[in-house]
Structure formats: C-alpha cells, structure tokens
Amino acid sequence: MKLLHFVFVFLLVSPLAAQTTTTTTTTQPVAQEIVVTASAVPDSVEETPASVTVIHREDIERREARDVSDVLREVPGVAVSRTGSNGKATSLFIRGGSSKQALVLWNGIPLNNPYFSGYNFGQMSTAGVERVEVVRGPFSALYGSEAVSGVVNVLTTPSRSGAVVEVAGGGHGLVNALASGAYASDRWSANASAEHRQDDGFAANDDFRSTTFLGGLTFRPIDHLSIGVLGRRSTYDLGIPFNVNAAADAFEPSPARGEDGTESQFAVPVRFDGGRIAYELHYAENRRDDHFADPLGAFGPEEATTHARVRTARATASGKSALGMITIGGELGRDAVDHRDNFAQFDTRRRKSDSVFAEDQLGFGAGSGRVELTAGIRYDHYDTFGSETTPRLAAAWLRGGHKIRAAYGEGFRAPSIGELYFPFGGNLNLGPERSRNVEIGYDRFTNVATLSATLFRSQYRGLIAFGSSGSFENVQRANANGVELAASHHAGPFDVALSYTFLKTEDQATGEELLRRPKHSGSLSFGYNAGNYDAELVVTHQGARADVTDLFPFGTVNAEAFTTADVTVRTHVGALAPYVKLENLTNTRYQEVFGYASPGRRAVAGLRYTIR
C-alpha cells in the first residue's frame, strides 16, 4: 500500500514541478565530457560545481589494470588499503571518512554490504568497465545513506560497437582471459563481458580464482522510451596464507584458511522523455554471499557464512522551469542479512527505508562569465532509527576555461544490520553517523591540459564504535582537513598526470590520527605514444599512517610509507596489441595493512585483439 501511495504522489507532483516551464577523454575535450554521478541530471565536467574525477577505459587499458582498486589509487583524496595480495579484502577511504562512509555503485546500483556497511573492492575486476566516476564530498542529498565522504560509480555501458579478446600471463601463476563485445543501433544496444583469472599469489595458500560475467541490453521501441536490463555475476575463491597464532605474538602459516563467495547485481532501468518532463524508473537488486573457513584455526575449526541482499526502487521526474532544471524523486530500500559463525548466528534480519528528494540545477550569465548552482535536499526514513534530512548546496563561476567552485553538504550513514543485531555488541538504540563538509576549489581546462585544486574541511559526528558498555555506540567524533591537487598535460607524444593529497585527521577523543589515512599521498603517471608504440609509467606513494596490529599487546602502530612503480610497454600491429608489464618495478617490500605483505615484483605479458 505504501508503494502505491508513493507512485501516486510521484506521478501527481512531477508535472507540477514543470508547470513554470519557459520556451574528459581521449575522444573529446575534457570540458565537454558528461558525468552522471555528481547530480540527478547529467552534467559536464566543466560546469558541475562538484569535485569530480573520471577514469576512462583508455586509462585502464594503458595501465593494463586488472582491478578497479588499482586505478583508484591515482585519484586525489582517495586512499586504498588491501590486506595482502590480489583478491584480498580491499577498503577505500575518501577525504578521511571511513571505508563505511564511501558509497559504491555499479551502474547506479548500490553495492555497499548492509551487514557492516562498506564495500570490498578485492574482487572487483575491470572487466567490461568503460568509466569510473569519483565524486568527493557528501552526496546524501542525492543518494542517502553511506554517501558521506564520496561516491564511486563503476559504469559498463559502452559508447561504441566493437569487441575485444585478451589473454595475459605472468609470474606466480597468473593467467587472465577476457572477452567483451558491444553492439549499438537506432533501436537496440547490447554489451557483454566475461573474464576468468587464476593467480597463485606470493606465498603458500595465497591463491586467488575469480570468474566474472556481465552484460546489458537496451531496447527503444519508440524515440522517447528506453527499457534496459543490466546484470553482473562474480565468483571468487581465495586462500589466506597467514593467521595470528594462539599466543597472539606472531603470524604463522595457515595452509587451509580461505574464503569463497558470489556477488551479483541486476537492474531494470526505464526512461521516458515526455518533452517537458523526463521520467526514470530504476529497480535494482544486489546480492552477496561470503563463506570463510579454517579447519586448522588457532583455537579449533573456524567457519562463517553471510548472505546479504539489497533491493532498491527509484523513480525521478526532471523538467526545466524558470528556476532551472528541477528533479524530484523517491526511493525505497529493503535490506536483509543472514549470518552464522562459530560463536553466534542470526536468521534473516531486515532494514527498510523510504526516501524522497529534490534537486535544482540553475545556470545563468554573470557578466562575461556564467554561474552554475546546484541545490538538493533529501529526507530518509528508516524503520530502525527514525529519520534524517540532508541538504547540499554547490556553486561554480565559469569563464574561459576557468572554474571557481564552492560547496556545503551534509551526509549520514544508517546503522548497519550487523551493528544493530549482532549477538555480541549489537545495539538497537543506535543513531546514524553524520558529517558536514565545506570545500572550495579551482579548475582550469584547456585543449591540452587540466588543473584542479581543492581545500576541504569535514566533521564527523556520532561515529559508531564499541563503547564502555561492550556494545556498539555513537561515541566517536573526528575532523578531517585537507588539500587535493591534480594536473595533466598533453604535449605531442607525451602525456603526464599527477595527483597529491594532504590530509590531516584527528580523533577528537584521543587527539590521534584516524587509522589508515596517510597525511601525504599522491601519484605520477608518464605516458609516451608514438605511432605503433606506447608506454606508461605509473608511480604511487602512500605516506606513513596509523594502523592497528593483530599481535599482543595490540593497539595502534605506525605503518611505514612506501612508493611503488608499474611500467607497461605496448606495440600495435593492426588489430593486435601485444604488451609487457612490470608490476612493482623496484620490488618494494611494503604493507598497505600492517602485518599483511603486499605483492612483490611480477612480470606480465599479454595480447589484446580489438575489433572496431
């Protein structure tokens, strides 16, 4: 009944919103590039008042990056922490927020796990990925819970027809095979990708196996109507080579410890352009099943199984008015989790939410320049804690390739199902985590170069952690201030890009830095493309940062800074492109997560066949 009421109100109100109607890539300039994540209606990189980074398929191929997390390491304001080698648990931190406060989307489908929030990037391959859009700052006014510090949207809809077949092999038993294709016509478009990977890792029981299938189909029966179907399924199986011994004073080999699981997404997007008003309906489902086992655990056999499901239905109506492009919409969310382990279990626990939101995008001339304004607000009601209202206001002044922008926004994260119901520590009285962010930035666009600089200040309140009662409580407060810099330049056969982030975080209760958020981080990429040959060198740096240790007496430790480099060399012979890549060129010994060694040097050789 509530759903019928929602649809009725949506269809009634959307025409009223429009009654005042009056009559960055290798293929196009950065300023003309369209992004879909920063606002309810697609906007150009030049005009959006948001802080945005776009990663393209060409960037992924030049780096021969197999995992999405690898290209995210070059994004300013973003820190990536992987617990060991490829495939292992990988967390993302944006602007000092926790990994639970970054919303991750796949073609607009929320991927964050409702069990304990956050998303594990460890098994997300670049197979079929056309673009990755990263918007920094709180976007709860548009997306609701978990869009606290930023949003990452992985997009797989191709821009042109074609097909690619690729095989690669490398040291430590790496084998990777990929096939993808796309077709587009006036009425139909379709795409599909499949990938299988095997990797023996860098120690005994450090193996990783994964298989990914994804695809999409869109049908346009008439000019103003499109109906689509999107799907993705990924399976994984990995070993965990080390575990803490019974005395908790050393890591020891764990020959039988491992995880396996499945992740799947499904969506049906429908769009109808009625002229004055454009309507969109989007139903999506995300499922994740994870199983962990160690028959030789330090204190006996260990096992855990978690099943998580998220269902969302979203509807929007957008129309031009005297006040700008106005979008109104609503969203329903239904989450469910089952969990069992050696110590506790709970059958299906549910969480539901109902939301309404509105956004206005207004642009107008101002002297010799132009002003772009975006204002949004969203109301979310959860059956677990109550309601939350989050606003966002952003403005930009544009003139001749220059952009000065400023934004204020608030965000929130709803308590996860695990934080509410876990038998040891769950607390039904939890409230949401909240944030406030203010930023100011400058962007410069030319045909051959870009420059971006942003200052930001974030406040996080009501952070959920174990309290003195032995259960989860809203007890922590933290601040994060920083500077984000990015620049790129193209000159003849050469391309260079750099990013740098200065981040100062503070836990207000202790005065200490937040865990796994380096004060200094950055990257430098240098590309060369001359005729049939090209090369790419990527250097990334992560500064010293606070972390925790799993060894007695536990507590906080200092994780050392590290710098790594990857180099790729490729030649083109017609439709064939053989390449060689050296990962961790200098064989740096480092740990992104304290106590878990990251991969050493590896040589990879591959061959790509492309049909355009």
Whether the per-residue pLDDT at 29 is higher than 70: the answer is no
Lowest mean pLDDT among 302-306, 428-432, 531-535: 531-535
Tell me the pLDDT tens digit for each residue of 72-121. 999 999 999 999 999 999 999 999 999 999 999 999 999 999 999 999 99
Strand pairing of 109-110 and 131-136?
unpaired
Whether the per-residue pLDDT at 575 is higher than 90: the answer is yes
Cβ atoms of 585 and 568 within 8 Å: the answer is no
Cα–Cα distance measured from residue 285 to residue 77, given in angstroms and rounded to the nearest whole number = 29
Cα–Cα distance measured from residue 298 to residue 254, given in angstroms and rounded to the nearest whole number = 9
Residue 298: DSSP 8-state: B
Whether the per-residue pLDDT at 226 is higher than 80: the answer is yes
Whether the per-residue pLDDT at 32 is higher than 80: the answer is no
CA-to-CA separations, 12 to 8, 18, 329, 535, in angstroms, rounded: 6, 12, 12, 56
- Residue whose entry in the numeric block shows the structure tokens 């590039």: 33
Question: Which residues partner with 288 through β-bridges?
Answer: 263, 308
Tell me the pLDDT tens digit for each residue of 349-364. 999 999 999 999 999 9
Cα–Cα distance measured from residue 239 to residue 233, given in angstroms and rounded to the nearest whole number = 21
CA-to-CA separations, 500 to 59, 310, 525, in angstroms, rounded: 18, 35, 12
Cβ atoms of 96 and 480 within 8 Å: the answer is yes
What is the rounded average pLDDT of the residues 201-207? 97
**Which amino acid, 170?**
G
Cβ atoms of 205 and 239 within 8 Å: the answer is yes
The conformational region for residue 584 under phi > 0 = left, psi -120 to 50 = alpha, else beta, is: left
The DSSP-derived string for 66-100 is -BHHHHHTTSTTEEEEESSSTTS-EEEEETT--GG
Other C-beta atoms within 10 Å of 220: how many? Answer: 16
Give the per-residue pLDDT at 484.
Answer: 98
**Which amino acid, 100?**
K
Lowest mean pLDDT among 147-151, 234-238, 342-346: 342-346
Whether the per-residue pLDDT at 597 is higher than 70: the answer is yes
User: Comparing 423 with 26, which gets the higher pLDDT?
Assistant: 423
Whether the per-residue pLDDT at 297 is higher than 60: the answer is yes
What is the rounded average pLDDT of the residues 573-599? 97
Task: Give percent above pLDDT 70 in the chain.
Answer: 95
Give the per-residue pLDDT at 553.
Answer: 92
Contacts of residue 388, defined as CB under 8 A and 6 or more positions apart, other chains included, come to 140, 145, 379, 380, 382, 412, 414, 432, 434
What's the topology of domain 2-611? Maltoporin; Chain A (2.40.170)
Tell me the pLDDT tens digit for each residue of 227-278. 999 999 999 999 999 999 999 999 999 999 999 999 999 999 999 999 899 9
Whether the per-residue pLDDT at 8 is higher than 60: the answer is no
Q: Average pLDDT over the chain, rounded to whole? A: 93
Give the per-residue pLDDT at 244.
Answer: 95
Contacts of residue 284, defined as CB under 8 A and 6 or more positions apart, other chains included, come to 108, 109, 110, 265, 266, 267, 268, 311, 312, 313, 314
Cα–Cα distance measured from residue 437 to residue 147, given in angstroms and rounded to the nearest whole number = 12
- Residue whose entry in the numeric block shows the structure tokens 């500077």: 483
CA Rg value for the chain: 24
pTM of the model: 0.94
Task: Give percent above pLDDT 90 in the chain.
Answer: 90
Residue-range domain boundaries for the chain: 2-611
Cβ atoms of 543 and 561 within 8 Å: the answer is yes
CA-to-CA separations, 169 to 166, 245, 536, 606, in angstroms, rounded: 10, 35, 19, 6
**Which amino acid, 500?**
Y
The conformational region for residue 64 under phi > 0 = left, psi -120 to 50 = alpha, else beta, is: left
Give the per-residue pLDDT at 30.
Answer: 52
What is the rounded average pLDDT of the residues 306-322? 97
